[in-house]
Amino acid sequence: MAYRGHNTAHGFDAGPPPPNSGFNIPQYPGMPGYIQPPAAVYQPTMPYMSMPGVYPMTNPFTTHPSMAPLTDHGFPGVHLKNHLGGVGVPPGYAYIFPSEHTIIHILKTPHKPWQTGLTIHPIDPSTHTKFYVPVSMNVKEFLKQVGCTDGDDKKNVVHEVVEKGNGHWAQGLRVNMDDKDKMKKSLGDFGWNKVRNGNIRNGGRPVVWLWREKGE
**Mean pLDDT over the full length of the chain:** 80
Buried b / exposed e across 184-211, counting CB within 10 Å, b at 16+?
eebbbebebbeebbeeeeeeeebbbbbb
The percent of residues in the chain predicted with pLDDT above 70, rounded, is 66
Q: How far apart are CA 209 and CA 122, in angstroms?
A: 9
Average pLDDT over residues 189-198: 95
- Of 52-61, 90-99, 116-125, minimum mean pLDDT range: 52-61
Cα angle at 208 between 205 and 127, to 5 degrees? 125
d(CA 59, CA 163): 54
| Whether this model's pTM surpasses 0.85 | no
Give pLDDT tens digits for 28-48.
Answer: 555 555 555 555 555 555 555
Domains, the chain, ranges and CATH? 1-65 (no CATH), 100-212 (3.10.20.90)
On the question of pLDDT at 17 being above 60, the answer is no
